């Protein structure tokens, strides 16, 4: 292998593939190195049990950054996105249930079954969310302004941001600024009275963070999850036909067609730094590959603390990277089912099984779930978000059978006593099944196989520090120009020719492609 490359991308997560594709499109020779045997990172579909294919990482997409799809001709490479409708179905224990739909009228009708008042509030709330997310959307499409910088360019960026804010009009501007640092509880209590409605919306504000809905900033995360979605569609979800892994394959196909070389089973052990600049990488096994730029799709802690010799980094920078909060809180349970779950509050098959299934009966339920985690324990009653993709995509499971993936929160990476060993892993699986069985009692007998991925497994399998699904918590202190650390939000690093392109950079985690897209733009600006 004595080809020379302009750029090496460490990691074939969706963001890494996107950056690779764009950089190659600009004419650079790019090599992607992925430690696993398959591409996609946390956007993969794996046949865990014979005939049963699971999205072991992300199982739904809120929104892909639109220009990606056209620029990279992803449809030609096999990408097909399927909107879930209802977006979400939330059962309760008292026989109630709520579904939110893509058509706001349907949503309002559904809410009206529970509260006239809340039904009347819906459009107003949806409009507020649309205004706030509209503001975030413009922020997300560009690299974050360096708030600490005195450069004229950065001051302009700050001004432009202020300009966009002002364009909302005074009333709305104040309203948007007011809600950004709020708690999800405060925000939702201002608008609604129905517990299951508030719980189900509020769940979007806690996903992936070591906080409950009563923590400041959860309103922001709620908005973040809705950026770019159509007004009135809340807890939105798209699926990829064939599984999330098909997205990665489409991206890999696009990248290859642009000349990118992708090697799997290639584990980068070290970034080679020479004279203060990144000069290539060394693989586990000893192979060294030189390149003019090194772009890391691994999270910032992995990149700077594991792959780079610390003597190449400044004291203050290292301290900041060390202090990035990860605190993984999610686990994943994948069930191979012989039959569909039968929810007591809405028996039988129906459209409700085709949306997200959210166990989030109230905000209090979510906060209680967090209370346990706060003291280092698995939630007694965890928040669950499940999808049964085989309903819309029969190829994922043998005829008549189903796959169900469940995101579980809170399963804290750091346990009060002990570690995530086999018995705790089993206990986690049991806890999830028991919780689900309270709503759908047939679930236990429907299970043919069960896979449990604890936060420790997520770390080991996907290379996620502390099992954090977003490459660093999405809390207010770690966003925008503070992501990954203040002063280094432009995808670059204190080592010349080293870049980041993953979810640990602005605008953060989730399958959106935005970090990878922004990173490519910044890199190309500097490489030119």
Partner 1 sequence: MLRGTPFHERTAPLCQAQNWRRWAGYLAASSYELTHDREYYAIRSAAALIDVSPLYKYVIRGSDAVRFLNRVLTRDVAGCDMHQVMYGPWCNEAGKVIDDGTLQRLGEESFRLTSAEPNLRWLCDNAFGLRVTIEDDSDTTAALALQGPTSREILNNVSDADLDSLKYFRLAFARAGNIPVTITRTGYTGDLGYEIWADAQQAIRLWDILMDGGRSYGITPSGIYALDVARVEAGLLLIGVDYIPANRALIEARKSSPFELGLGWAVRLEKGFVGQEALLEEWQRGPAWQFKGLELDWNSLEKVYAEFGLPPELPMIAWRTSVPVYAGAAQVGYATSGCWSPTLKKYIALAHLRSAHAERGTSVEMEVTVEHRRKKAAARVVDLPFFDPERKRS
Ligand X SMILES: Cc1cc2nc3c(=O)[nH]c(=O)nc-3n(C[C@H](O)[C@H](O)[C@H](O)COP(=O)(O)OP(=O)(O)OC[C@H]3O[C@@H](n4cnc5c(N)ncnc54)[C@H](O)[C@@H]3O)c2cc1C
Applying CB under 8 A, the residues found at the interface with partner 1 are: 276, 305, 309-312, 314-316, 318-319, 322
Beta-bridged to residue 268, according to DSSP, are: 283
Single out the segment in contact with ligand X by CB under 6 A; choices: 60-68, 114-122, 309-317, 335-343. 60-68
Q: What does the block give as tokens for 16?
A: 């890494």
Q: Which is nearer to partner 1, 322 or 325 (CB)?
A: 322
User: Using the rule CB under 6 A, which residue among 29, 160, 191, 267 binds ligand X?
Assistant: 267
Tell me how far apart the alpha carbons of residues 503 and 508 are, in angstroms, rounded to a whole number. 5
The encoded tokens of residue 23 equal 């950089």
Q: Which of residues 401-430 bind ligand X (CB under 6 A)?
A: 407
**What size, in residues, is the chain?**
528
Within 493-522, the residues that bind ligand X by CB under 6 A are: 502-503, 509-511
Q: Is 191 in the site for ligand X (CB under 6 A)?
A: no
> What are the structure tokens assigned to 8, written together?
């090496």
DSSP 503: T
Cβ nearer to ligand X, comparing 111 with 294: 294
C-alpha torsion 251→254→257→262, nearest 10: -10
What is the closest distance, in whole angstroms, from the C-beta atom of residue 453 to ligand X in the complex? 7
The reply to whether 346 sits near ligand X by the rule CB under 6 A is no
* 357 counts as binding ligand X under rule CB under 6 A: no
Q: Print the binding letters for residues 304-343 with ligand X: x by CB under 6 A, - otherwise.
A: --------------------------x-x-----------
> Which residues lie across from 239 on neighbouring strands?
82
For ligand X, the closer of residues 36 and 53 by Cβ is: 36
Work out which of 20, 21, 36, 133 binds ligand X, going by CB under 6 A.
36
Torsion 500-21-405-365 (CA) sign = positive
Q: Which of 31, 53, 57, 335 binds ligand X (CB under 6 A)?
A: 57
Task: Locate 395 and state its tokens.
Answer: 């190829």
Question: Any contact of residue 383 with ligand X (CB under 6 A)?
Answer: no
Q: Work out whether 41 is an interface residue with ligand X (CB under 6 A).
A: yes
| 44 neighbors 330 (Cβ within 8 angstroms) | no
Nearer to partner 1, 196 or 313 (CB): 313
- Which listed option, ligand X, partner 1, none, makes contact with residue 36 (CB within 5 to 8 Å by class)? ligand X
Q: How far is the CB of 320 from ligand X (least distance, A)?
A: 20
Using the minimum distance from each CB to partner 1, give the nearer residue, 272 or 329.
272
Tokens, residue 251: 């991206």
**Which lies closer to partner 1 via its Cβ, residue 105 or residue 316?**
316
Q: Which is nearer to partner 1, 47 or 309 (CB)?
A: 309
Report the residue from 34, 137, 466, 522 that binds ligand X according to the rule CB under 6 A: 34
Residues with Cβ within 8 Å of residue 175, at least 6 apart in sequence: 128, 131
**What does 24 interact with, of partner 1, ligand X, none (CB < 5 to 8 A by kind)?**
none
Q: Which is nearer to partner 1, 191 or 317 (CB)?
A: 317
Using the rule CB under 6 A, is 483 a contact of ligand X? no
The encoded tokens of residue 236 equal 């939105």
Q: Which does 309 bind (CB under 5 to 8 A by kind): partner 1, ligand X, none?
A: partner 1
Rounded least distance, CB 96 to ligand X, Å: 25
- In whole angstroms, how close is the CB of 496 to partner 1 at the nearest point? 12
Residue showing tokens 């897209």: 517
- Window contacting ligand X (CB under 6 A); options: 295-303, 316-324, 347-355, 367-375: 295-303
Closest CA to 412 of 493, 521, 330, 507: 330
Name the residue nearer to ligand X (CB basis): 194 or 475.
475
3-state DSSP assignment of residue 315: helix
3-class SS of residue 37: coil
Q: How far is CA 278 from the centre of its chain?
A: 28
C-alpha span between 20 and 8 (Å, rounded): 8
First to last CA, the chain: 26
- 298 binds ligand X per the rule CB under 6 A: yes
| Residues 414-419: contacts with CB under 8 Å, at least 24 apart | 414/327, 414/376, 414/466, 415/376, 415/377, 416/375, 416/376, 416/377, 417/376, 419/456
Helix (H, G, I), strand (E, B) or coil at 53: strand
State which residue, 315 or 399, has the beta carbon closest to partner 1: 315
240, 62 contact by CB (below 8 A):
no
Q: Which does 193 bind (CB under 5 to 8 A by kind): ligand X, partner 1, none?
A: none
Q: Is 64 in the site for ligand X (CB under 6 A)?
A: no
Among ligand X, partner 1, none, the one that 13 touches (CB under a kind-dependent 5 to 8 A) is ligand X
Would you give the distance in Å from CA 514 to the centre of its chain? 11
Q: Which does 60 bind (CB under 5 to 8 A by kind): ligand X, partner 1, none?
A: ligand X
Could you give phi then psi for residue 482, rounded to 5 degrees?
-105, 10
Q: What is the phi/psi pair of residue 436, to 5°? A: -65, -35
Question: Of partner 1, ligand X, none, which one does residue 280 interact with (CB within 5 to 8 Å by kind)?
Answer: none
Rounded CA separation 420/337 (Å): 25
Any residues with CB less than 8 A from the CB of 70 and at least 6 apart, and which?
none
Single out the residue of 5, 25, 30, 35 in contact with ligand X (rule: CB under 6 A). 35
Residues that bind ligand X (CB under 6 A): 10-16, 33-36, 41-43, 57-62, 267-268, 297-298, 302, 330, 332, 407, 458, 462-464, 469-471, 502-503, 509-511
């Amino acid at each position: 292998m004595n080809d020379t490359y302009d750029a090496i991308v460490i990691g074939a997560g969706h963001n890494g593939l996107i950056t690779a594709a764009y950089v190659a499109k600009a004419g650079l020779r790019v090599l992607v190195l992925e430690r696993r045997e398959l591409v996609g990172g946390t956007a993969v579909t794996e046949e865990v049990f014979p005939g049963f294919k699971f999205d072991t990482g992300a199982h739904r997409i809120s929104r892909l950054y639109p220009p990606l799809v056209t620029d990279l001709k992803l449809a030609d490479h096999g990408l097909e996105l399927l909107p879930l409708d209802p977006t979400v179905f939330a059962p309760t224990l008292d026989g109630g249930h709520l579904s939110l739909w893509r058509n706001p009228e349907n949503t309002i009708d559904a809410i009206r079954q529970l509260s006239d008042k809340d039904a009347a509030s819906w459009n107003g709330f949806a409009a507020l969310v649309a205004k706030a997310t509209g503001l975030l959307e413009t922020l997300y499409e560009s690299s974050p302004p360096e708030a600490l910088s005195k450069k004229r360019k950065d001051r302009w960026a700050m001004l432009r941001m202020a300009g966009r804010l002002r364009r909302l009009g005074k009333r709305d501007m104040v309203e948007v600024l007011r809600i950004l640092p709020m708690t999800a509880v405060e925000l939702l209590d201002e608008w609604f009275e129905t517990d299951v409605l508030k719980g189900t919306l509020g769940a979007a504000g806690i996903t992936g963070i070591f906080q409950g809905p009563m923590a400041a900033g959860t309103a922001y995360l709620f908005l973040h999850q809705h950026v770019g979605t159509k007004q009135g569609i809340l807890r939105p979800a798209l699926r990829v036909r064939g599984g999330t892994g098909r997205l990665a394959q489409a991206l890999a196909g696009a990248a290859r067609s642009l000349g990118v070389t992708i090697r799997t089973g290639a584990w980068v052990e070290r970034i080679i730094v020479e004279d203060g600049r990144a000069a290539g990488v060394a693989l586990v096994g000893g192979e060294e590959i030189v390149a003019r730029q090194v772009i890391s799709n691994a999270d910032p802690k992995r990149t700077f603390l594991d792959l780079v010799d610390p003597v190449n980094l400044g004291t203050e920078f290292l301290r900041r990277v060390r202090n990035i909060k990860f605190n993984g809180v999610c686990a994943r349970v994948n069930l191979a089912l012989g039959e569909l779950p039968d929810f007591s509050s809405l028996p039988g098959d129906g459209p409700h099984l085709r949306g997200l299934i959210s166990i989030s009966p109230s905000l209090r339920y979510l906060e209680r779930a967090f209370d346990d985690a706060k003291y280092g324990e698995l939630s007694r009653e965890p928040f669950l978000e499940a999808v049964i993709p085989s309903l819309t995509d029969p190829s994922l499971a043998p005829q008549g059978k189903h796959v169900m993936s469940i995101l579980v929160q809170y399963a804290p990476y750091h346990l009060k006593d002990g570690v995530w060993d086999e018995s705790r892993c089993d206990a986690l699986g049991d806890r999830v099944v028991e919780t689900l069985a309270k709503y759908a009692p047939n679930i236990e007998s429907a299970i043919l196989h069960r896979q449990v991925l604890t936060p420790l497994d997520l770390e080991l399998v996907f290379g996620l520090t502390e099992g954090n699904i977003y490459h660093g918590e999405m809390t207010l202190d770690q966003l925008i120009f503070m992501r990954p650390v203040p002063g280094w939000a432009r995808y670059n690093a204190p080592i010349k020719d080293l870049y980041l392109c993953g979810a640990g950079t602005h605008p953060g985690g989730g399958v959106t492609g935005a970090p990878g897209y922004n990173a490519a733009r910044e890199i190309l600006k500097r490489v030119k």
